[in-house]
Chains A and B, each alone.
Chain A
Amino acid sequence: KNQVEQSPQSLIILEGKNCTLQCNYTVSPFSNLRWYKQDTGRGPVSLTIMTFSENTKSNGRYTATLDADTKQSSLHITASQLSDSASYICVVSEGFSGGYNKLIFGAGTRLAVHP
């Protein structure tokens, strides 16, 4: 069964600190992996998208890594800000050509940044 597992479920850090969120997946065939940020009560917003051949991608203070061999990804947040408080969702796209590339969503990691 195609699954995406994220850890930890929740995390509290102090403003200015770094943190790393983890994502393990068993989706096959694989097309790409995305990280979304979702503020409470809002829709998810894309942070990064990585295909099979990419092993790192940055978006400002957010850096995602992908190890397609071990089927693991991480999202590293540098110098956290209060506005980083949100849920971070790992999403893996199945690779079916000519049809619908189904997205498999993780349950998310809820990050709280405290002053």
Chain B
Amino acid sequence: DGGITQSPKYLFRKEGQNVTLSCEQNLNHDAMYWYRQDPGQGLRLIYYSQIVNDFQKGDIAEGYSVSREKKESFPLTVTSAQKNPTAFYLCASSMRLAGDVNEQFFGPGTRLTVL
């Protein structure tokens, strides 16, 4: 069963704590992405990666960190430096980073709530 999985579905964190969101894909895609979704706003790009051990900052990378040690995995760490981390986080992947029609496939999301 091919696709993208994210875990956990719901996550609660106390202020001042770091937390890591998991994203795994078995689609053999090279590119992976992390987005943040807030009510009434479009998705905003946090980080993206086109290959193992390489990743780039998106529009709102401050307070977040990522790693890409395996092609299948792209975990996102929300650090205590992120001022407003409560949001819905979406992971996505695509065959490659660029191209005329480069469809991104999304995972089911993780809802992070800071208490």
**Which of A46, A99, A103: most chain B CB closer than 10 A?**
A103
Known contacts: A43-B107, A100-B48, A103-B104. The answer to whether A89 contacts B42 by CB under 8 A is: yes
Q: Among B42, B99, B106, which residue has its beta carbon within 8 angstroms of that of A101?
A: B99
Known contacts: A4-B42, A32-B101. The answer to whether A100 contacts B108 by CB under 8 A is: no
Docked Cα-Cα span, A41 to B90, in Å, equals 10
Docked Cα-Cα span, A44 to B88, in Å, equals 12
Residues of B within 8 A of A11 (CB): none
Docked Cα-Cα span, A107 to B103, in Å, equals 19
State which residues 7-35 of B face A: CB under 8 Å.
none
State which residues 78-108 of B face A: CB under 8 Å.
88, 90, 92, 97-108
Q: Report yes or no: B106 in contact with A44, Cβ–Cβ below 8 A.
A: yes
B: interface residue count bin: 20 to 34
Q: Report yes or no: B98 in contact with A45, Cβ–Cβ below 8 A.
A: no
Docked Cα-Cα span, A75 to B50, in Å, equals 31
Residues of A within 8 A of B88 (CB): 41
Q: Among B41, B56, B105, B108, which residue has its beta carbon within 8 angstroms of that of A42?
A: B108
In chain A, what residue has the closest Cβ to B98? A101
Q: Report yes or no: A100 in contact with B56, Cβ–Cβ below 8 A.
A: yes
Q: Report yes or no: A31 in contact with B42, Cβ–Cβ below 8 A.
A: no
Q: Any chain B CB within 8 A of the CB of A51? A: yes
Measured CB to CB, the residues of A under 8 A from B are: 4, 9, 31-32, 34, 36, 41-46, 49, 51, 89, 93, 96-108
A-B contact pairs, 24 of them (CB 8 A): A4-B42, A9-B40, A32-B100, A32-B101, A41-B109, A41-B111, A42-B109, A43-B4, A43-B106, A43-B108, A44-B43, A44-B90, A49-B103, A89-B42, A89-B43, A93-B102, A99-B98, A100-B48, A100-B56, A101-B99, A103-B104, A105-B44, A107-B40, A107-B42
Measured CB to CB, the residues of B under 8 A from A are: 4, 40-45, 48, 50, 56, 88, 90, 92, 97-109, 111
